[in-house]
Structure 1
């Protein structure tokens, strides 16, 4: 196991929270560990700028091999539906998923 794997595991063990991951394709739901982030995103429309709350989840690629839009993360009883294209980190160890409350 590489130092990168060990570092990712240490961060998820220290700061991660349990969540349920339900694929949209009908595969069974699984319990995974997520790092939840809820930054404000500033969306611009011409001269107008709107602050919108978004939810970002970082998950281990070893937990979910191929996340897709439409998959659902349930955290603290709240369902978040993945939207857009999941992004993988440079070491291919984690995914960053953007989601909305559904």
Structure 2
């Protein structure tokens, strides 16, 4: 285990940083409990001469918890359900996925 993996284990295990979630595969209906770090950055979209700010929901999840997320998969966080939209993106160290979500 690398130093980065050990640090991620501590971060994702910290209840102040990460929350429990359930991943449900869109193709096989497999379910897996995971921990995610939830983010909600503003997204700026340009259309013609206008710029529009909209809410977004993104989560970070360790590759060791979720090796192959796919668009269409479902994430349940508390009472909220989200669908994974777009392709998941890995960090430089290939340890964390960033998933772009939309409400289901």
**TM-score calculated relative to the size of structure 1:** 0.96
In the TM superposition, residue 27 of structure 1 has moved relative to its aligned partner by 3.8
Structure 1 segments of 4 or more deviating over 2 A?
none
Provide the C-alpha distance between the structure 1 equivalents of 2:4 and 2:29, rounded to a whole number of angstroms.
Answer: 29
Q: Give the TM-score, by structure 2 length.
A: 0.94
- Name the SS of the counterpart of 1:84 in structure 2: coil
Matches within 5 A, 1:31-50: 31-50=33-52
Task: Name the residue aligned to 1:78.
Answer: 80
Question: Map of 1:1-102 to 2, 5 A cutoff?
Answer: 1-14=1-14, 15-102=17-104
3-state SS of the aligned residue for 2:85? strand
Deviation at 1:10, TM superposition (A): 1.2
SS of 1:59 mapped into structure 2? strand
Q: Say what the alpha-carbon RMSD is for the aligned residues.
A: 0.9
Query: Structure 1 CA distance, aligned partners of 2:23 and 2:30?
Result: 9
In structure 1, the gaps of 5 or more residues are none
Count how many residue pairs are aligned between Structure 1 and Structure 2. Answer: 102
